[in-house]
Amino acid sequence: MMGGNLRYDDAMSKPRQPKRISKSSLENAALFYLERFSASAEGLRRVLLRRVDRAAKVHGDDPENGAALVDDLVSRYLASGLLDDQRYAEGKGRSLLRRGSSRRAIRQDLTRRGVAAEVIDKTLDGLEEDFTDGEMTFDQAAAQAYVRRRRIGPFRPPALRAQFRDRDLASLGRAGFSWEIARQVIDADED
């Protein structure tokens, strides 16, 4: 009697070899990726260049030819509106702000994803207008969302608040919030 799953033993024993890079294969890969994920232009470029590098190593092709195809594809998608870094940055920024990310953390995340600095600045200014009112700043609103989501500070049972105050302040500090904002939010009463 044999062990394992007979249906998949042969198929899973060998890693799949990447296909040769062509204009149509890159376009199919890019469209498939964009169907599943939202991406910045630089993010899509990185994904496609990894695919090109893997295929070039296996087939002995020149990766520069594939990189030129990737650049053409990304610039075509930018011109057609299929890729839009401003729209991507706004969506990602809103998502991160709702999760309680600080202004600094949002900037770092978008920078890591290849979004240009001027697009990030414009996005953060737009988010500040949308999510702040006269009494609360951007980081205060984000810190409120963070403590609500993590159930710390004012969202902890009253008997445990004093016991975990320092730990809650440290958590906000690690999340990128200043000492003043962390102290204001942790010491506030539950809304």
pLDDT of amino acid 19 = 85
pLDDT at residue 189, as a whole number = 74
Best CA proximity match to 53, nearest among 43, 41, 40, 67: 67
Lowest mean pLDDT among 37-46, 110-119, 136-145, 162-171: 136-145
pLDDT digits (tens, 9 = 90+) for 59-105: 888 889 999 999 999 999 999 999 999 999 999 999 999 899 999 99
pLDDT band at 1; cut points 50, 70, 90: very low
Percentage of the chain modeled with pLDDT above 70: 91
Q: Could you report the per-residue pLDDT of 162-191, keeping only the tens digit for each?
A: 999 999 999 999 998 999 999 999 988 754
Which amino acid, one-letter code, is at 100?
Answer: G
